[in-house]
C-alpha cells in the first residue's frame, strides 16, 4: 500500500510541474516581463500547494472509512479481517488519489489567478 502512495505522489507531482496556463499572446506586451511573471506565479502556486500533505491526509481518512466499510462487509460475508484489510487498502488509495487531484487543481487555480491578476488574458 505504501508503494502505491509513493507512485501516486510522483505521478501527481509531475503533472503539477507540467501545467502552464494558456495565455493569449496579444495580452503579452513585454516578453521578458511575461516570463518573469510566469516564473513567479509558478513559484507561488508551488508554495501554496502541498500535494504530499493532501495525499497523506486523505489517504488516512480514506483508509479509516474503507476499513470501517470493509469490516462491515466482513461481518456480513464472514471474514472481518479480510474485509477490514481490503477496505483499508482500497479506501487509502482512493483517498490518496483524491488528495492528489485536489492539490493539482489548487495548483492550477493559483497559477491561473496569479497570471490573470498580472494582467494577462488566460484562456483556460
User: Is residue 98 a contact partner of residue 58, using CB atoms and an 8 Å limit?
Assistant: yes
Q: What is the pLDDT of residues 1-33, one digit of tens each?
A: 455 545 555 555 555 557 889 999 999 999 999
What confidence category does residue 115 fall into, taking pLDDT thresholds of 50, 70 and 90? very high
Q: Residue ranges of the domains in the chain?
A: 51-119
Give the per-residue pLDDT at 105.
87
Q: Which residue has the cell 505522489?
A: 9
Give the per-residue pLDDT at 4.
52
The predicted model gives 85-102 an average pLDDT of 77
Q: What is the pLDDT of residues 54-85, one digit of tens each?
A: 666 767 777 777 777 777 777 777 777 777 77
CA distance 38 to 55: 26
- How far from the centroid of its chain's Cα atoms is residue 43's Cα? 16
Amino acid at each position: 500500500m505504501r508503494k502505491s502512495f509513493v507512485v501516486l505522489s510522483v505521478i501527481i507531482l509531475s503533472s503539477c510541474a507540467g501545467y502552464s496556463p494558456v495565455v493569449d499572446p496579444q495580452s503579452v506586451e513585454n516578453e521578458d516581463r511575461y516570463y518573469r511573471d510566469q516564473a513567479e506565479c509558478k513559484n507561488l502556486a508551488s508554495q501554496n500547494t502541498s500535494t504530499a500533505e493532501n495525499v497523506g491526509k486523505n489517504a488516512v481518512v480514506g483508509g479509516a472509512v474503507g476499513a470501517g466499510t470493509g469490516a462491515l462487509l466482513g461481518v456480513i460475508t464472514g471474514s472481518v479481517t479480510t474485509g477490514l484489510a481490503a477496505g483499508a487498502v482500497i479506501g487509502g488509495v482512493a483517498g490518496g488519489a483524491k488528495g492528489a487531484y485536489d492539490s493539482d487543481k489548487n495548483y492550477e487555480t493559483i497559477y491561473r489567478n496569479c497570471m490573470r491578476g498580472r494582467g494577462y488574458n488566460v484562456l483556460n
